[in-house]
Amino acid sequence: MCVAISDKQKQLLQLLADGEFHSGTELARQLGVSRSAVWKQVAGLADLGLHHAAVTGKGYRLEKPLELLAAQAIINGLDPAVLPLLAQLELHDQIDSTNVYLSQQAQNYAPAGTVCFAEHQTAGKGRRGRQWVSPFGSNLYLSVLWRFQQGYASTAGLSLAIGVAVIRALRQQQLHPVGLKWPNDIMSAGKKLGGILIEVSGESDGPCAVVIGLGINLFVPDSAAQGINQAWTDASKVNPAISLNRNQLAASLLNQLLAVLADFEQVGIKAYLDEWRSYDCLQGQSATLFIADQPYPGIVQGVDDSGLLLLQHPDGRTQAFASGEVSFSRTPL
């Protein structure tokens, strides 16, 4: 469900996006409201995960400048070969979940190549129903709808191929070191930088719709990080020397994601396995795989040619797993 922020909130965000101080008097004038109303609007930004400073004689400013998403800036960054693959681009100020929204649009016959970005998610989700912390304008939250004609089986290994696409885009934007943790986590130095969530609906042996959700941490405020229950990082920590342009990164991600999706049904996972293995941050690591609450400790031996995780048990046996949750037994390199 789309949950629009108010026009006054949006205007206020645009005025404060530069990260500089703005006096209450000037904000009141530009917004056409009282100074008391400005104070209430500024205080309400905390509900979006945004925090501010208020200094007597200076006014208000956000703790960090915002670069708001702009459809034309994203489209301008698309490769000519990719542009025809984009059927529709939607930018939402606030939404419950980009994946939930696009799943609903898929049922309403939205075309392949429909893309949804959100500045803020009120109910963002990761795998197994976990909450995805989503402060306003700080990170990237997007979903892509694609349609496959040959049923669920034709999507096998898709999450790995999508992972390859994401790493390509991040490296293009000079963000490194980054790698992949089976089956769908974007990692840096053993901490989670982002995640992929793929949901499939339709016929098992006929046309099906796939919604690919992606969240990338660019800057996670300390206040928002309190809700994260695993080791995490963001782009500002991975490489403090660069300042990522959100619109450029959004375009780079779409360039890679749409190209992979357009080819995947023909080439399958095998076309991406070697590259995925080069990004694998679990290879050779001591780890524990959890299926439900059942732990399987061992040494990760990469993935097989179908994209299944290979785990060597303590007795030396190697077993392939199609699903599960992997936890490092020690801090990875």
Q: Which residues are annotated as a binding site for biotin?
A: 97-99, 121, 192
Angle (CA) 132-137-139 rounded to 5° is 50
Give alpha helix (H) positions in 20-157: 24-31, 35-44, 71-76, 98-107
Q: Which of 60, 66, 20 is nearest to 37 (CA)?
A: 60
**Residues marked as binding?**
97-99, 121, 192
Name the token pair of 65: 């400048």
C-alpha to C-alpha distance for 112 and 6, rounded to whole angstroms = 31
C-alpha to C-alpha distance for 329 and 333, rounded to whole angstroms = 12
For 134-148, give one letter per residue: b (16+ CB within 10 A) or e: bbbbbbbbbbbbbbb
C-alpha to C-alpha distance for 164 and 141, rounded to whole angstroms = 18
Cα–Cα distances in angstroms (integers) from residue 254 to residues 13, 76, 81, 169, 267, in the given order: 26, 12, 12, 9, 19
